[in-house]
Amino acid sequence: MDESKDIEDRLKHHLAAGQLEQAASLAIKEYGPGVLGFLSAVLRDNAEADEIMAMVCLDLWAGLTTFRAESTFRTWTYALARHAYLRYRKRRGLQRRMESPLSQLSWLSALHQRVRTATSPFLRSEARDAISRLRSQLSPEEQTLLVLRVDRGMSWDEVTGVMAPPECGAADRRKVSVACRKRFERTVKKLRHLASEAGLLEEAEP
């Protein structure tokens, strides 16, 4: 059985049985490192990525009872990460950090710490990569599309599920999908141009 399908089936089983803590634990364990890597790649700041990851853990826990399975759990988790990132950007002007509310849920906090520990070595090596430096010149939305489509290998349906606003209807989702594809094409061209200017064209495969 495909590993990703097995994870999704186990999550559905936990939700159907009302086993919310087990579902949250499994989702964060399996998808958390990838989500944290996604946030770090977009933000270029591990501390901020970690703070947003704490928000994602809480959002996931709070949203389990309303998860409608219109997308895979993996796609939903990445969508939570993007929405948490957008909220964080709005409040970042306060220039202060708040104590993580995860301290109120010790088991969730422990999972969050495991995700941090497992992901950090990868992030340190990624930061040294020349292509990573080129990507840092892209906008957050451009970086988001690259990470989701290239680094995480998501299908366009999955990318649309992450990028579409909450409660987006079918017609609007199609528009979001078309817009994402066009922006991705422009982003690839932009990245290649940056690579050419830096003399790294042969290495610049996003």
- Cα angle 180-183-187, degrees, rounded to a multiple of 5: 130
69 or 188, greater pLDDT: 188
Q: How far is CA 42 from CA 32, 139, 140, 170, in A?
A: 15, 9, 6, 27
**C-alpha–C-alpha distance, residues 58 and 130, integer Å:** 34
**C-alpha–C-alpha distance, residues 155 and 147, integer Å:** 12
Confidence of residue 129 (pLDDT cuts 50, 70, 90): low
Q: Give 56-114 pLDDT, tens digit per residue.
A: 999 999 999 888 777 899 999 999 999 999 888 877 654 444 444 444 445 455 555 66
DSSP secondary structure code for residue 67 in this structure:
-
Instruction: CATH number for 129-206: choose from 1.10.3470, 1.10.287, 1.10.10, 3.30.420.
Output: 1.10.10
The per-residue b/e assignment along 128-138, b for 16 or more CB within 10 angstroms, e otherwise, is eeebeebbeeb
- Token couple for 3: 């590993």
Q: Are 201 and 195 in contact (CB under 8 A)?
A: yes
pTM: 0.71
- Token couple for 57: 């853990």
**C-alpha–C-alpha distance, residues 109 and 28, integer Å:** 11
Instruction: Give me the residue spans of the domains in the chain.
Output: 1-128, 129-206
Place of tokens 């892209």: 138
